[in-house]
Amino acid sequence: MPELRLIDPSRARPETPEITDAEAAAMARAVPNLFKRWGVTDSQACTLLGGISARTWARWKLGASGRLPRDLRARLANLMGIHKALRLIFREPERGYDWVAAPNAVFGGRSALEVMLGGELTDLMRVRHYLDAERGDIADPADWDAIASAESKTNPRVAESIGLLDLVPPARRVSGEGATWLMAPFVHVSRDRRSRFSDGSYGVYYAGDRFEVALFETIHHHGRFMAATDQAPGWASDFRELVGAIDRDLHDLRDRTIWSDCLDPDDYSPSQALAARLRGAGSNGLVYPSVRYPEGDCVAVFWPDLIPIPLQARHLGYHWDGSRVDRIRDLGSGEVFAVEG
């Protein structure tokens, strides 16, 4: 006969660090200001915070949140993670605030706020995972470490999902100075941010065989991110060039006549299906012609331990003209280049 047995509470506690009372109080003080920036109404605020009462929310706005339960602390941690990710992605804070309420093609035309107003903790996590996957391309590694450490201080459900570290077996993880450049694409993934060789359920490290390949590939994909929320023109985001090498056996897709379906500019279904099969069979990854810069090649690598840690090189700013990335700036030299073709 099935039965329930009470577990000793001391044995049931998660091994990950708890969010302290001081940390929870700090987030509770910050969230009214954050919601004001996002244009969140009082009713919406109550929903985002797990259905708290209007009276309780009124006390929060006066700085009297009281002791917070674990679920509410997890919600606050996710909200702060979303805010931090937007600050990393956008140079101008106002762009990030506006992004939250803007209709987004990624979410089927709904805004991130509408997604979060589903009311579940997982709705907040969905938005954060998408942004974490996006910022994994551009965040400073020092920031990434600090953010991951701080945001993992929550309950087991959230702690397991922060960074999705469980997607990379311990034996395949890399560490040391600069290792976060390699780990980020594998632990910050989202089904809302699919790529040519992943449906968003696992990470892939993409690189080009020359600067121009990496430049035009990132210009294309960043343009899609900006267009999804109809961003206003301006110098919106910064990127970093990483220089490295790889010496591994890779499946070769460079014959365009054979692999044309996997090199379609828009339809990733065939390439995702192929990659899933190869990855499951133990492949290291693929080499294929760049779709955004046809004179060069790209690699898609399935595990971080296959790649030496890269070095950081140029630091670039991307200008969005309202419909495309039309200029880049070398932030070291100050030179500005028009993007043509």
Domain end: 106, 135, 164, which one? 135
Q: Is residue 247 part of a domain?
A: yes
Same domain, 198 and 71: no
Q: Is residue 2 part of a domain?
A: no
Each residue's pLDDT tens digit, 72-131: 999 999 999 999 889 888 989 999 999 999 999 999 999 999 999 999 999 999 999 888
Domains identified in the chain, total number: 2
Q: Is residue 162 part of a domain?
A: no
Q: What range defines the domain where residue 223 resides? A: 172-340
Q: What pLDDT, on a 0 to 100 scale, did the predictor assign at position 114?
A: 97
Each residue's pLDDT tens digit, 167-223: 888 899 888 878 888 888 998 888 998 999 999 999 999 999 999 999 999 999 999
What is the chain's mean pLDDT, rounded? Answer: 86
Stronger pLDDT, 340 or 102, i.e. the higher one:
102
Same domain, 131 and 176: no
Same domain, 62 and 205: no
Q: What pLDDT, on a 0 to 100 scale, did the predictor assign at position 304?
A: 95
Domain end: 110, 135, 160, which one? 135
Q: Is residue 193 part of a domain?
A: yes
Same domain, 45 and 118: yes
Q: Is residue 322 part of a domain?
A: yes
pTM over cut 0.85? no
Q: What pLDDT, on a 0 to 100 scale, did the predictor assign at position 23?
A: 86
Same domain, 217 and 335: yes
Same domain, 112 and 181: no
Same domain, 75 and 186: no
The structure tokens listed for 330 are 């070398």
Is the model's pLDDT at 10 over the cut of 50? no
Q: Is residue 211 part of a domain?
A: yes
Same domain, 112 and 180: no
